[in-house]
Amino acid sequence: MTIEEITKGESKNVEFKVALPKESEKYIKTIVAFANTQGGKLVIGIDDESLEVVGVENDTAFEVMDSIANAVSDSVTPQLIPNIELQTINDKTVVVVSVEPSMGRPYYIKSKGRDKGTYVRVGGTTRPAHSEKIKELEMEGSGISWDELTCIGFEVTDIQIKKLCKDIMEYRKASGLSNREVSEQQLINWKLLKKAENNFLATNAFALLTSDHFPLSKTQCAVFKGRERTVFVDKKVLEGPLYEQIDEAVKFVLRNIRLGAKIQGLLRKESYELPPEAIREIIINAHCHRNFTENSCVQVAIYSDRLEVTSPGGLYGGITLEDILKGHSKLRNKAIANIFAQMGLAEAWGTGLIRVWEYAKKYGLKEPEVVETSGLFRVNLYRSYPGLKNDGEVVADVGDNDGNDGEVVADVGDNDGDDGENVGDVGNNVGDVGDNDGDVGNNVGDVGETSDRNIELRILDLINENNKISAADIATLLSVSKRTVERYLKKLRETGKLQRFGSPRNGYWMVNT
């Protein structure tokens, strides 16, 4: 722990205590949460509010270390052994408890039991794990992949098998992969099917690749006017095999972003305002790594300033965003990831998001943004704006002149002419020239500039995405304090727009429409 790290404050992986609490449960919760999430450090001797290094007395330092070791040993199951050491910062001694993400999950406090004593880390807070999260932690700890489990009650037909084999071969051919015959036996080897006497049993992966058996294995696509989820311009729900949903979702995005023309000498070259390769990578990643036990769908949302793709479920198996951007990955859905690799949809090396960053940089776009909580993983790919120049080239979308600095700027086949108020339907190309307010690349959603009404709508929208979302998760996504979110939740309940059912820990929300 360095002084530079301390000045960044508490985070998902760091928590400070000015002194060791007398009640051990107050810090054991955090140690358990670190072990169940992405690991972290609990530092004793730093004021969590002022970030001042106050230290611990040298003559009690070893006593503090022993107390922590004994409390962890006595209170936590399965056995957890953190690294506890002394460090000197600004000539003062602090105790640093380092916890690695561990596959013995779920870890929990013995006295509370697994259902009430399991904790995870959300932002800079420690939260009780809900039942679905505990189930996933159990599968992680057992090395079980949900998509490889038998899909109870799903009937396998010859038509499904033949279609899937045929589609895999066609995808391989289109991707330039080697020709290979795909048969029933190959599907068994890839853990899509299981042989049982004279018939086949489907795994969850097979059901996902051949049907719409699971109600929440859908892709919700939408175009919104402006930068908030207030006015729909277009929306569509995609069902069926995952790979078909991916193709249709990519087409939906391409239909609803600008197709421009770059004049290079005497030649005119058309290109989308966002790199199609990056769009495809983000959507594939969302389906490949999503948590299918979460009560929500993959969402693809297009705003005037960004493409936003949301995947149910946070990062898996203790992996961090820093790990991902270095090319490391852990597979939540092993069978789906493998079949996507076999089809040429994804590589098996965890480099998908790295390429997204590279595509955005090559296009001259703002760096993509990731928002991650225990309940979702979201990637924002920021759009270019009409009237801008990239590397000195005039960006022109054929058919519309907005008169801005003499540049030709428009959506193909779309003449809005009303400062972005009237969005044309031709070709489904949506682009609000009037929405370009000069704040290109800024992270839009500054709560300080948003009306109470918009904040309420955004909270209700997040609850519609995940009816078990916590106030802490909402606060993280909206970049506001938890107290602010709780105030709005109270107001929404008082006005009858929102209801809460069940216990504070295991309950859920219902939006009244």
Q: What are phi and psi of 403, to 5 degrees?
A: 75, 15
Q: What are phi and psi of 375, to 5 degrees?
A: -110, -10
Strands 219-224, 298-302: pairing kind? parallel
Residues 458-474, buried b or exposed e (16+ Cβ, 10 A)? bbbebbebbebbbbbbb
Alpha-carbon Rg for the chain, nearest whole angstrom, is: 25
Angle (deg, nearest 10), helices 242-255 and 276-288: 150
Fold of 219-435: Heat Shock Protein 90 (3.30.565)
CB 394 within 8 A of CB 268: no
Out of 3.40.50.2300, 2.60.40.10, 3.30.950.30, 3.40.50.1980, select the CATH number for domain 3-136.
3.30.950.30
Angle (deg, nearest 10), helices 471-478 and 482-494: 110
Structure-token pair, residue 325: 């951007």
pTM of the prediction? 0.69
Round to whole Å and give the CA distance between 113 and 44.
27
| Helix locations, 76-190, DSSP H | 113-117, 131-142, 158-174, 184-189
* 503: CB partners within 8 A, 6+ apart: none
- Separation in Å, CA 147 to CA 192, 329, 332, 343, 375: 9, 17, 9, 17, 19
pLDDT in tens, the chain (513 residues): 788 888 888 888 899 999 999 999 999 999 999 999 889 999 999 998 899 999 999 899 999 999 999 999 999 999 999 999 999 999 999 999 999 987 789 999 999 999 999 999 887 889 898 888 898 899 888 888 999 999 999 999 999 999 999 999 999 999 889 888 999 999 999 999 999 888 899 999 999 999 999 999 999 999 999 998 888 999 999 999 999 999 999 999 999 999 876 666 767 677 899 999 999 999 999 999 999 988 889 999 999 999 999 999 888 877 777 777 777 778 889 999 999 999 999 875 567 788 899 999 999 999 999 888 767 899 999 997 543 344 333 333 333 333 333 333 333 333 333 333 333 333 333 333 333 333 333 333 333 344 577 788 888 888 887 888 888 888 878 777 888 888 899 899 888 888 887 766 667 888 886
CB 506 within 8 A of CB 134: no
What count of Cα atoms within 13 Å lies in the side-chain half-sphere of residue 2?
2
**Span 447-511: which CATH code?**
1.10.10.10
Q: What are phi and psi of 268, to 5 degrees?
A: -115, 120
| Number of helices and strands in the chain (H, E) | 16, 22
CB 386 within 8 A of CB 409: yes
